[in-house]
Structure 1
Amino acid sequence: MAGAVLVAPSIARAAPRYSYADAIRESVQVETPLDNDADGRPDRVVVDLVRPREAAERGIRVPVVMVASPYYQCCGRGLENERKEYADDGTVTQFPLYYDNWFVPRGYAFAAVDAAGTSRSTGCADVGGREEILAVKAAIDWLNGRARGFHADGTGASAGWSTGRVGMIGKSWDGSIANGVAATGVRGLATIVPISAISSWYDYSRYAGVVRSRRHHVYLHNYTSGRPAGVCTAVTSELSAGSDDATGDYNAYWAERDFRPDARTVRASVFIAHGLNDTNVTTTQVGAWWSALAKHRVPRKIWLYQQAHTDPFDVRRAEWVRTLDRWFEYWLKGVDNGIMREPQATVERAPGRWVDEPSWPAPSLQVPVRLGNGTLGLRPAAGTVSFTDDPSLGESALVAQPNTPVAGRLMFLSAPVPTSLRVSGTASVTLRVRVDRPTTNFSVRLVDYGTADRVNYGNAAGGVVRQTTESCWGQSTATDDACYFDTVEDVVSTDHAVITRGWLEASHHASLSSPTPLDPDRWYTMTVTFQPHDFVLATGHVLGLVVSQSDRSFTSPTPSGATVEVDLAGSRLTLPVAGPVRIGEPDRAPAVTTSRAPDPPAADVVPHA
């Protein structure tokens, strides 16, 4: 299908002016300020570029769309796992994804940056650390004349063809790099579009002191490294020691990889896209980052959808490309196309039903819901209930059969709600507890009990199904196809669904950096925060709160054998209740009906694809 462009005219509002086939392709090595492979020379990151030849010949400077990634050679990008492919002279003949095909003909350059220590870049990957972030910052500095660049033959390379305005975009780890670079406040970075991205590596690898996956940063380094064996041994030792699996504490290592405190330095606008059911990069990443950006009045926009770790290109393709096109046009070219006067938030409320809203989370009232003897209600209850850790219980067993007692869990159920109830933002549960061990893990879940059509976000593609048809998004060449398999949402009818989850390692209840062992004779009040969400509990459905301890479905379990006593009068669930409820009009794309209910993925996941 090379050369075919099957995009609807309504999408291509900024008509292409330049030839992608004739574009200039070059590879530049940008010098960074660090030398973490300790070879005595500044590390270099490779910036592979494609830019319109006609603009260069006419002396027209162009802005840059950039994706910095550790995945260009090890793993590939997108549902079709595309990798960079090279000509004999080292320039790229195929760039992954559609950004180059779409934006270069519209007057942008596209830059694909190999993260430090991966693919053809030197240095050593430090997984969200200074090397990773400052190396990509150097690429932006080079585009603005503030860093040195070199061709493969050692001659100097300049970026006089660039306006210096850069928009970073990327999914998962790629988007995480964009967040980190924006947090440096680098001049020239005009906007970022982080998709399913990390804003705190601690919250990715730890859940309030609960260890999610052990030796994960060493694994990620090894998984993506492009360096010869032995070159990065010192760095992997630092990753192992700093991540400190033995405690789950927040320390200097994690602080270096926490971008949220630096939201005050962000100069770029931010357009976030994230799956509400992402169990890989959970919604805590977007919720906390969004709040920090809002506090500092960073211009921003957000899309939230029902899928898991999924790109909106594979969820609502035409509308996403149209919106992204206008976003970059505004922030990189200065065209006042009205996008910043439109609603800030776009939320998929139910499969295929989208609502535009002025802000997110929606304005809400914090409603305290009391815990009774197996019930949720508005009146306080007296007495205590207790349960003992059962590490054999996975999520499916924890939430099934809500009316049947199950050892190892506490189940609290509301009455059927008389009218639809919308919860928008971050819920929490406060527990007054006495624990007969120095610590234990708490795992909490909110569950929607009631039959409905729901996105099957636990499938292999995060809630979509690839079709046999293709559509094309930009111009193609013989070596770089702009065409991608179409997708539709994978929708199933189920009688219940986990809405959101939360965890807490009990000795960290007062401090993530300084844990305190529990006294078995003392009562403690501790709050477990759920992952931010936006959901509607339909009329007649029942809201369930499930409390357990070890969680083998989503963490590296550390069974405690603890028995926990819960004081009902001192405990409560707090819900950010918003209204009124708008479901939205369904999209035209059909859904796929299957017989499989959503299943959570394994706990040890990689932020990829």
Structure 2
Amino acid sequence: MTFSLKLSPILSFAVLFSFIGYSQNSTEKATPIFKDGEAQIVEAFSNSEKWIRHDLWVETEFDTDGDGEPDRMHVAVTRPEQTETEDLKLPVIYVSSPYFAGVAADAPGTMWDVNVELGGTAKERFHPEVTRRGQRPIISNSHITKWVPRGYIVVHSSSPGTGLSDGAPTIGGKNESLAPKAVIDWLCGRAKGYTEREGNDEVIAYWSTGKIGMTGTSYNGTLPLAAATTGVEGLEAIIPIAPNTSYYHYYRSNGLVRSPGGYLGEDIDVLYDFVHSGKEENRAYNNKTVRDTEMKNGMDRETGDYNEFWSGRDYLNQMDKMKAALLMSHGFNDWNVMPEHSYRIYKAAKEKGLPTQIYYHQLGHGGPPPMSMMNRWFTKYLHGINNGVEKEENKAYIVREQDDTQEPTAYKDYPNPDASNVTLNLTAGGVMYGGLTLNSSSVKSETLSDDATISGRELAKVAYSKNRLLYVTPKLKDHLHISGVPKVSITLSSNHESANLSVWLVSLPWQEGGKITDNIITRGWADPKNYKSLTKEEDLEPGKFYTVNFDLQPDDQIIKAGQQIGFMIFSSDKEFTLHPKAGTKLTVQLDETTLTLPVVGGKDAFMRATN
């Protein structure tokens, strides 16, 4: 039978009383208000004590916890009372997450041991359990004070296998795309919602216009993209903030096993344990099926190669059906979810002809676009107000180094259309300071020795080190604007069949206690054994030279006059890679190694800054 919210035991007496109080005193119907292309705060929508808050379960098309029944997702709704008292229909801002019901506590041994030889197998790690938290009907309070007063309904859901949602967390598996799709289908009248996790009393989203936007940060920013790749009708716009768009790119780098910044030893199965807050009686089945079978057989910490397991968790491979407008947000100094995650999806969406904009700031993980940008985006695509956001000439908004995050500089696009590639060569002296120049080298090779106990910061700061090779430009006489994806081509040999390869682009001299933009420009990592292909590595023949080509992380940064750009090559990165025993030697062939920088103004600008 159909469930009526007016009679629901979910609603408190206080909320029911607020219905009566409003109907006795109200003479005019409240509606959204728009000014300068943005939804404005409406007084009638702003009294949080009168908001209607209730929860329900939406039925999906999958069963991932093995109980023989379709998984149901736990959903919470926050809406203005006028959606009940005045039959007002409003669009929806929807946020989904695996984090809402709590995560596993930090405990020794939960991360993989990184003190292993390359290609070796680490000892089994500890698997923590999550103690679920939270009470019905409120899953989360995020975003409600921002959007409900502006004439939106805010919906939250816990992703599969977390909180009071059925199913198993798969960390990028198909069910994590289909779960938000089911919620959107329910909001559009195409799927069924129920008052209880197990029951048949239906809930109808009669207050929804069928226009939905999604947003969120990090994993919560990944799920809007996951939903959009299903092509679900009704999802009009997404604003992912620092989203993880490929779990391979999150846990690997060009064939190399590489941790996300700040979480040394984390891998996809660690994240699975971290979020697995779902029903306790389902956890053993989920662990066996997902973590201990699919993940164990697919994640491959021994080689770091790209395979079918990782391909299925790469949203770039799933964008054919995507129709939603995209406003992407990221930080250029996010070393957790690195900026390549946003750029690769933005670029693909733009090539598909979708409405796109991108906002980049100079800080670390997280950071939404300015409220005005988000407001205009959702106003256009959810309320249908023709504010011209899709016709704006400038597609990229980048916060400059000294500016407030709310005041980005507008550019025609990212990368800057005025940037062109400048290829730089290496000259001798890398154990101290070699040259990074337009001129070619007369010295054939230089050698470094690996030592994972020394951090990249220490290596960049010292004037001499046998553990890295550092090549620098002349001191800049003018500011130099880099915009785009730097590329490296390194020809090297190893005295060992396996080796880490790490590259940092730094601004020197190193500023102790400086701002996040002062020292590290960008970084990159690669496995020389994957010099031919990411899908199959081959052992290095000691003494034989191989050419390894890979991208560094995207960036847009203005390097100040007086600084030098340093190109640092080393082996194991203490903060990111595995830590093999010290002693592996890499010999770099200077005359066949280059750094290609995307410079605004191209070669002429580089020459002006360095001559």
CA 1:347 to 1:449, structure 2 compared with 1: closer, same or farther past 3 Å? same
Match of 1:230 in 2: 284
| Contact 2:242/2:330, CA 8 A, preserved across alignment | yes
Asked if residue 514 in structure 1 is aligned to residue 536 in structure 2, the reply is: yes
Q: Which residue is equivalent to 2:386?
A: 336
Q: Are 1:262 and 2:262 counterparts?
A: no
Tell me: higher relative CO, structure 1 or 2? Use CA pairs within 8 A at least 6 residues apart. 1
Matches within 5 A, 1:186-265: 186-213=232-259, 214=265, 216-226=267-277, 227-228=279-280, 229-234=283-288, 235-237=290-292, 238-265=294-321
Q: Distance in 2 between matches of 1:561 and 1:140?
A: 55
Residue in structure 1 matching 2:445, options 370, 384, 395: 384
Q: Determine if contact 2:102/2:133 at 8 Å carries over to the other structure.
A: no
Relative distance call for 1:347 and 1:215 in structure 2 (3 A) is closer
SS at match of 1:21: helix
> C-alpha separation between the residues in 1 aligned to 2:409 and 2:200?
53
Query: Within the alignment, does 1:95 sit opposite 2:140 as a pair?
Result: yes
1:184 aligns with 2:230: yes
Match for residue 351 of structure 1 among 402, 405, 427: 402
Q: What is the rounded CA distance, in whole Å, between the counterparts of 1:53 and 1:418 in structure 2?
A: 62
Distance 1:556 1:179, change over 3 A: farther
**TM-score under structure 1 normalisation?**
0.80
1:277·1:307 contact (CA, 8 Å) conserved in 2? yes
- CA distance, structure 2, for counterparts of residue 535 and residue 215 of structure 1: 29
User: Would you say the 8 A contact 1:430–1:526 is kept in 2?
Assistant: yes
Q: Which residue of 2 aligns with 1:449?
A: 508
Matched with 2:554 is: 532
Match of 2:361 among 278, 301, 305: 305
Partner Cα distance (1:440, 1:452) in 2: 30
Residue equivalent to 1:296: 352
> How far does the alpha carbon of each residue in 1:373-392 deviate from its partner, in whole angstroms, 9 at most, with x for none?
11100011122111122222
Aligned AA (2:233): R
Query: What is the CA-CA distance between 1:399 and the residue it aligns to?
Result: 0.9
The DSSP-based 3-state class of the residue aligned with 2:458 is helix
Map residues 349-498 of structure 1 onto 2, 5 A cutoff. 349-352=400-403, 354-363=408-417, 364-373=419-428, 374-382=434-442, 383-401=444-462, 404-450=463-509, 456-457=515-516, 497-498=519-520
Alpha-carbon separation, structure 2, partners of 1:295 and 1:509 = 28
Give the letter aligned to residue 398 of structure 1: L
Q: 1:270 to 1:10 in 2, by over 3 A?
A: closer
Partners of 2:460 and 2:510 within 8 A in 1: no
Q: Report the CA distance between 1:58 and its aligned residue.
A: 2.8
Question: Larger radius of gyration, structure 1 or 2?
Answer: 2
Give me the whole-angstrom Cα distance separating, in 2, the residues matched to 1:243 and 1:370: 37
Structure 1 residue matching 2:190: 3-state secondary structure? coil
* Cα distance between partner residues in 2 of 1:365 and 1:165: 41
Q: Secondary structure at the match of 2:591?
A: strand
C-alpha distance in 2 between matches for 1:168 and 1:559: 46
Partner amino acid, structure 2, of 1:189: L
Distance 1:10 1:339 in 2: 11
1:388 counterpart letter in structure 2: S
Q: Is contact 1:390–1:407 with CA below 8 Å preserved after alignment?
A: no
CA distance in 1, matches of 2:582, 2:312: 31
Output the CA distance in 2 between the equivalents of 1:560 and 1:511.
27
Q: Distance in 2 between matches of 1:68 and 1:555?
A: 31
Counterpart residue identity of residue 131, structure 1 = N
Equivalent position of 2:98 in the other structure: 70
Q: Distance in 2 between matches of 1:59 and 1:209?
A: 56
SS across alignment from 2:95 = strand
Identity of matched residues, %: 31
Query: Residue 37 of structure 2 contacts residue 376 of structure 2 at CA under 8 Å; is this kept in 1?
Result: no
In structure 2, give the amino acid aligned to 1:70. P
Contact 1:440 / 1:560 at 8 angstroms: preserved in 2?
Answer: no
1:23 aligns with 51
- Which deviates further from its counterpart, 146-155 or 171-180? 146-155
Structure 1 residue matching 2:305: 3-state secondary structure: coil
Say whether residues 1:278 and 2:334 are aligned partners: yes
Give the drift of 1:263.
2.6
| Higher fraction of strand | 1
State whether residues 103 and 109 of structure 1, in contact with CA within 8 Å, keep that contact through their aligned partners in structure 2.
Answer: yes
- Pick the aligned partner of 2:178 from 134, 138, 160: 134
What is the TM-score of this pair, normalised by structure 2? 0.80
Runs of 4+ displaced beyond 6 Å: 9-12, 451-455
> Residue 600 of structure 2: which of 565, 578, 603 is its match?
578
Amino acid at match of 2:354: V
**8 Å CA contact retained: 1:215, 1:240:** no
Structure 1's 10 and 326: CA in aligned 2 closer, same or farther, altered over 3 A?
Answer: closer
Q: Secondary structure at the match of 1:380?
A: coil
Q: State the number of aligned residues.
A: 516
Equivalents in 1 of 2:475, 2:306: separation in Å?
41
Which residue number corresponds to residue 526 of structure 2?
504
| Partner residue in 1 for 2:374 | 324
- Aligned partners of 1:390 and 1:62: how far apart in 2? 59
Question: Cα offset for 1:452?
Answer: 7.4
Task: Tell me, in whole angstroms, the C-alpha distance in 2 between the residues paired with 1:120 and 1:69.
Answer: 12
Q: CA deviation at 1:351?
A: 2.4
Counterparts in 2 of 1:452 and 1:398: CA distance versus 1, 3 Å: closer
Q: 8 Å contact 2:247–2:268 — kept in the other structure?
A: no
* Corresponding residue for residue 221 of structure 2: 175
- Residue 112 of structure 1 aligns with an amino acid whose one-letter code is H
CA drift of 1:396 comes to 1.6
Secondary structure of 1:569's aligned partner: helix
Alpha-carbon distance change, 358 to 84 in structure 1, aligned in 2, over 3 angstroms: farther
Mapped to 2, the partners of 1:555 and 1:165 lie a distance apart of 44
Determine the C-alpha separation between the residues in 2 that align with 1:54 and 1:65: 17
Residues 47-56 or 269-278, more deviating: 47-56
Q: Measure how far apart 1:12 and its partner are.
A: 8.1
Partner Cα distance (2:251, 2:177) in 1: 18
| Shift, 1:225, TM fit | 1.4
The amino acid across from 1:61 in the alignment is: K
* In structure 2, distance between residues paired with 1:453 and 1:399: 12
Deviation of the 1:281 alpha carbon: 0.4
Long gaps (5+) in structure 2: 1-34, 105-131, 260-264, 429-433, 603-611
Tell me, in whole angstroms, the C-alpha distance in 2 between the residues paired with 1:538 and 1:328: 37
The offset of 1:224, in angstroms, is: 1.4
Contact 1:55-1:107 within 8 A present in 2 as well: no
Q: State yes or no: 1:106 paired with 2:150.
A: yes
